């Protein structure tokens, strides 16, 4: 059994890097805070005797050799956060992995297959789109060059930032050879808590569509310009925001739709905006419905731009189909939870995760633990100590099962 207190100490220690005044933390990908976080986690990897390597995308791997020199069983997640992040999202998967390693070290257990604890670059996608960028490049789903050239919300490039914080490793990316991947994560939603269940055996990740729209209209005087003569880029952006809500409600089921980012120019009280850009995040477990939502959105934007006499530029920032996980792996998570006497349910994931990328190259599953009030990407994100411990014990058992 793992040591829950030790796990929590590490979570809290890592959470100090980029800590926010009211709690939670801000450790956006490839910032100075990310650099400090990486340094700390890598120092722990060395302390635990892991063989540390990193690749050209800044993904970091801590290997614990097995008795066999075969492809490792991998676990992990990410340590970057959003701007209003908690200390569990991502970090739990990485530090839970290290806690499993320390537990095995103490017990003197050597597995047949090697074990590997990884953390992947820029999972959140909050600074650089798409999300899960590091693991996507790792599995060959995006070229390294495209990833390095990606510009963030602050105009900086991934490649330059990787260099600046010294996170660009020497290992090439691509052709990963992994026996299986399992990732422990907080649910980040309300389902487990509402069902009073401790462990989620994640069956699939819903489809994710991130779209960016930039409207160009005509700046003009807010007092003198009659409504009928306006080409108001700001209005177009706000009308899109209202439409996204209406669209998600109309499609219903588990469809969600969010406009989380919006900027207007010149952004002054008495000037009709000439520029406005916004992002739309659409998700559904059913890809056909997700495609329907995307089509309706594009249709709305086209008619809106025509009616308002404004130009629109459109870019897809991320698009991932729903990803089903491996049934044997899901069974294994479920069985392990039951072996500890924990309540368990099968469920989809609403958030994107590195696991969905690893699923392209090896049998994959995820273990969820409850999020209090279903809150995440919020400084009040919280998971109870007993749930953190329960999830990490399930991780231990699944890893032992897979690594033999």
Ligand X SMILES: NC(=O)NCCC(=O)O
Distance CA 61, CA 117 (A): 6
**Looking at beta carbons only, is 252 or 341 nearer to its own copies?**
252
Distance CA 218, CA 230 (A): 7
C-alpha distances in Å from residue 29, one per residue of 67, 124, 208, 223: 35, 8, 20, 43
Question: Is 212 annotated as contributing to ligand binding?
Answer: no
* Residue 352 in contact with ligand X, rule: CB under 6 A: yes
* Residue 350 in contact with its own copies, rule: CB under 8 A: yes
Q: Determine the interface stretch with its own copies among 72-80, 93-101, 121-129, 396-404 (rule: CB under 8 A).
A: 121-129
* Residue 83 in contact with its own copies, rule: CB under 8 A: yes
Which residue has 């999830």 as its token pair?
391
Quick note: the x/- pattern for its own copies over 245-274, rule CB under 8 A, is x--xx----xxxxxxxxxxxxxxxxxxxxx
Question: Is 221 annotated as contributing to ligand binding?
Answer: no
User: Which residues, 192 to 221, sit near ligand X by CB under 6 A?
Assistant: 221
Length of the chain: 404
Question: Is 353 annotated as contributing to ligand binding?
Answer: no
**Looking at beta carbons only, is 221 or 228 nearer to ligand X?**
221
**Looking at beta carbons only, is 103 or 284 nearer to its own copies?**
284
Among 40, 52, 63, 238, binds its own copies (CB under 8 A): 238
* Residue 190 in contact with its own copies, rule: CB under 8 A: yes
Choose from ligand X, its own copies, none: what does 123 bind? Cβ within 5-8 Å by kind: ligand X
User: Which residues, 66 to 95, sit near ligand X by CB under 6 A?
Assistant: 89
385, 254, 401: which is closest to 334 by C-alpha? Answer: 401
Smallest gap from residue 168 Cβ to ligand X (A): 22
CB 133 within 8 A of CB 123: yes
7, 1, 2: which is closest to 384 by C-alpha? Answer: 7
Q: What is the dihedral of CA 177, 182, 184, 188, to 10 degrees?
A: 90
C-alpha distances in Å from residue 242, one per residue of 210, 253, 302: 17, 19, 15
Please count the CA atoms within 13 angstroms of the CA of 337 that sit on its side-chain side: 25
132, 108, 145, 143: which is closest to 181 by C-alpha? Answer: 132
Q: Determine the interface stretch with its own copies among 101-109, 132-140, 243-251, 334-342 (rule: CB under 8 A).
A: 243-251
Record the tokens describing residue 59, joined without a space. 């993904």
Smallest gap from residue 255 Cβ to its own copies (A): 8
* Residue 351 in contact with its own copies, rule: CB under 8 A: yes
Annotate 46-77 with b (16+ C-beta within 10 A) or e (fewer).
eebebebebbbbbbbbbbbbbeeeeebbbbbb
Smallest gap from residue 268 Cβ to its own copies (A): 4
**Looking at beta carbons only, is 107 or 269 nearer to its own copies?**
269
Query: What's the sign of the alpha-carbon dihedral 130, 356, 258, 280?
Result: positive
- Please provide the distance, in angstroms rounded to a whole number, between the alpha carbons at the two ends of the chain: 17
Among 21, 22, 223, 341, binds ligand X (CB under 6 A): 223
User: Which residues, 115 to 144, sit near ligand X by CB under 6 A?
Assistant: 123-125, 131
**Looking at beta carbons only, is 50 or 94 nearer to ligand X?**
94
Quick note: the x/- pattern for its own copies over 270-309, rule CB under 8 A, is xxxxx----x-x-x--------------------------
Record the tokens describing residue 263, joined without a space. 């900027």
Among 353, 356, 379, 390, binds ligand X (CB under 6 A): 353
Contact residues toward ligand X (CB under 6 A) are: 89, 123-125, 131, 188, 221, 223, 270, 351-353
């Amino acid at each position: 059994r793992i040591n829950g207190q030790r796990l929590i100490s590490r979570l809290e220690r890592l959470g100090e890097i980029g800590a926010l005044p009211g709690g939670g933390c801000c450790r956006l990908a490839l910032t100075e805070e990310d650099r400090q976080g990486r340094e700390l986690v890598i120092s722990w990897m060395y302390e635990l005797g892991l063989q540390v390597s990193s690749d050209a995308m800044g993904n970091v791997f801590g290997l614990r050799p097995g008795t066999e020199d075969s492809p490792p069983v991998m676990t992990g997640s990410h340590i970057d956060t959003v701007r209003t992040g908690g200390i569990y999202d991502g970090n739990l998967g990485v530090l839970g992995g290290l806690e499993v390693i320390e537990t095995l070290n103490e017990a003197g257990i050597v597995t047949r297959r090697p074990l590997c604890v990884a953390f992947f670059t820029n999972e959140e996608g909050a600074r650089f789109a798409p999300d899960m960028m590091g693991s996507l490049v790792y599995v060959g789903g995006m070229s390294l060059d495209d990833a390095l050239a990606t510009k963030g919300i602050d105009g900086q490039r991934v490649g330059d930032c990787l260099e600046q914080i010294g996170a660009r490793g020497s290992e090439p990316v691509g052709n990963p050879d992994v026996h299986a991947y399992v990732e422990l994560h907080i649910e980040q939603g309300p389902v487990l808590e509402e069902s009073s269940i401790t462990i989620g055996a994640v069956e699939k990740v819903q489809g994710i569509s991130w779209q960016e729209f930039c409207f160009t209209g005509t700046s003009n005087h807010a007092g003198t310009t009659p409504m009928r003569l306006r080409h108001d880029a700001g209005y177009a952006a706000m009308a899109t925001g209202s439409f996204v809500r209406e669209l998600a409600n109309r499609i219903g089921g588990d469809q969600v739709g969010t406009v989380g980012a919006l900027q207007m120019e010149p952004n002054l009280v008495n000037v009709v905006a000439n520029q406005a850009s916004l992002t739309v995040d659409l998700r559904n477990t059913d890809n056909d419905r997700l495609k329907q939502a995307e089509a309706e959105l594009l249709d709305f934007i086209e008619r809106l731009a025509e009616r308002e006499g404004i130009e629109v530029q459109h870019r897809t920032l991320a698009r991932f189909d729903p990803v089903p996980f491996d049934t044997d792996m899901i069974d294994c998570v479920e069985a392990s939870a039951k072996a500890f006497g924990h309540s368990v349910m099968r469920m989809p994931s609403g958030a994107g995760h590195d696991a969905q990328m690893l699923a392209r190259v090896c049998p994959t599953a995820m273990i969820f633990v409850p999020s209090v009030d279903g809150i995440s990407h919020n400084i009040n994100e919280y998971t109870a100590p007993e749930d953190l411990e329960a999830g990490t014990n399930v991780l231990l058992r699944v890893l032992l099962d897979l690594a033999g």
